[in-house]
Amino acid sequence: MGGLGRTVLARHRLARLWSLGDRSAPSSFAPGLVITDDEMDVVWAPFSTSSDGAIPRTITLNSRAPFAPWESEENGPVLTASIGHVLPPSLDEADAGEVASKGDLLPISWQSLNHDEGLLDQDLNPHVVVLTDALQLANKPGRLVEAIHVIKRRFPGSLLWAPGIGGPDNCAVLSWFGIDLFDTTRSKQAESHGAVLTWNGPRMLMENEPGVDHWKTALAEVRSAMSSNSLRELAQSQSLNSPRLVEHLRNHDKLISGSDGILSQIVSKGTALRIHSVESHDDPVILDWVDFISNEYKAPEGLDEVLILLPCSARKPYSSSRSHKAFRRAMNHNAAHEVIVTSPLGLVPRDLEEVWPAGHYDIPVTGDWTRDEIDRVTKMIDSLVAKNTYRVIINHSGMEYQCDIPVIDTRKGASSTNHEALQRLEQSVLDNMQVKRRSGEKINIDNFRSVARFHHLNDSWLDGVQVRGRFPRWKILKDNEQIAMWAPERGGFSISKACVEMLDSLGSLKRISLKENLKWKGDVNLAILESYDESIKAGEDILVMQGSQCLGSARAAAPAWEWSGTPGRLAKMHQRL
């Protein structure tokens, strides 16, 4: 993309860390500041701004470094726009006044989001979007996050500036929503009253204390959290500075939960879902999991006679923990349907224990269950029981559960690894298992089918396969040819070249289509993209098509919401036919 050179360095749902300028030697980054003077280094403040006094007002955004190095050695680009006449958000039914200009700098208000059809022009690809009435929207419940959500999905390749609302005390929360640029308006207002905005909120200004240092610290924390996929936890912590921030965060979660193509399917190694507060229990990725297990999950074939409920463990996957090894020894059988009871995910079937988020979450364990946690787990077990034909439930989870079929409590108030409790578990399994043990290969195939139903459109491609090799990198073969390998670090499959045409014929993966008359050589980007599935998740394997021909497979680097306009890599080639 010409004009403003920008590259996504890290992404976390709607938040992104951008480098600005030369890709190999960026001059600055976003999230960053828009300033009115030179009080901060360009690495923290990539832009400055000025405005005339005319009506309607014209604003100018000046690059403080050569962010378009291919055009000139001078600083640039310089972006200018008329903001038009902005009516208050309360008058959203009105359609009046002069609309803002449309170009590389695009002013947008709540009114224009509701009435300006020019924003639907597919040729409109601004470098920076300015939410001109962000300050007013911040005081309207739900309006600010709704406006940000609409803008990000409509203009995913643009930096978003929300003037007048950012500060060191809320920039983590606003960055999490998708805002890329802030300004020092609130900081200067606080200083004029003898106060300073800090990461933890406002306080009285100490003598000779430079307020800009708080901005540098805040931006450094946000950028670092984006790089480590921990921005959610940082934003949640900072939201406690204000009841309004908590309100915004809850409304944002509701929007994400109802949207396709934002969450991840495969996460980078070391990423954890940290559930350190009650607010975290309604994280969209958790609600997505609960919905899948409650409404779409299908137990492995043949495991529908005995359901064994087990407690979770701090170590993931659970089967590698000391407690679960003790459970397996006590059960001495592997043909029951083992399901782990845990908060906040509710239930994790053994066959899905390695996938995201089940294999990657971290929660403090107190042994106490809240009413909400108990309700979530109970409803999920009810759903599981309704969809299967269990004869009996062996409950070693420690959480009380009753239904119309027999439930055997093997804990009876004792700890899960208590000797007598394990003996009761052993005897219950011995008394109730009426089917043969599964072979190790059958267990692997059952697990892989469950993962395929979770990650792919179907599990048909696993019909008639054999599993060979050694734990944990199992090889999946069909007619003695390797078609995939289990990749434990991904919690998913690594598809071989030999499998791509089969996945195509069985409709097992989502598809993207490239433009005709070009040769696919590497990354998928906007320049070569014709169409895409709007539910693609980051990390997901996808089929790359050109017309009716399958060219190979790729892995999504970006979720679907970015695919309509984000510069740079959207997917990375995995297999080329």
Return d(Cα 116, Cα 110) in angstroms, integer: 10
Element (H, E) at 248: helix 243-257
pLDDT of residue 424: 97
| Mean pLDDT, range 151-160, rounded to an integer | 96
Q: Do 528 and 308 touch, CB atoms closer than 8 A?
A: no
Query: Which residue has 């030999």 as its token pair?
Result: 498
What pLDDT score does 416 carry? 96
224: its two tokens: 């670092």
Predicted confidence band of residue 341 (pLDDT cuts 50, 70, 90): very high
Domains of the chain (ranges plus CATH)?
A: 6-257 (no CATH), 297-432 (3.40.50.10630), 446-496 (3.10.450), 509-577 (2.30.130.10)
Among 170-184, 201-215, 251-265, whose mean pLDDT is lowest?
A: 201-215
Query: Which residue shows structure tokens 């060219």?
Result: 551
Distances (CA, A) of 246 to 140, 149, 423: 14, 17, 47
pLDDT at 527 over 50: yes
**245-302: per-residue pLDDT in tens?**
999 999 999 999 988 899 999 998 888 888 877 778 889 999 999 999 999 999 999 9
Q: How far apart are CA 243 and CA 249, in angstroms?
A: 10
Instruction: Show Cβ contacts of residue 194 under 8 Å, excluding neighbours closer than 6 positions.
Output: 204, 205
User: pLDDT, tens digit, for every residue of 52-110?
Assistant: 766 668 999 999 999 987 776 688 899 999 887 766 666 566 555 567 788 999 999 99
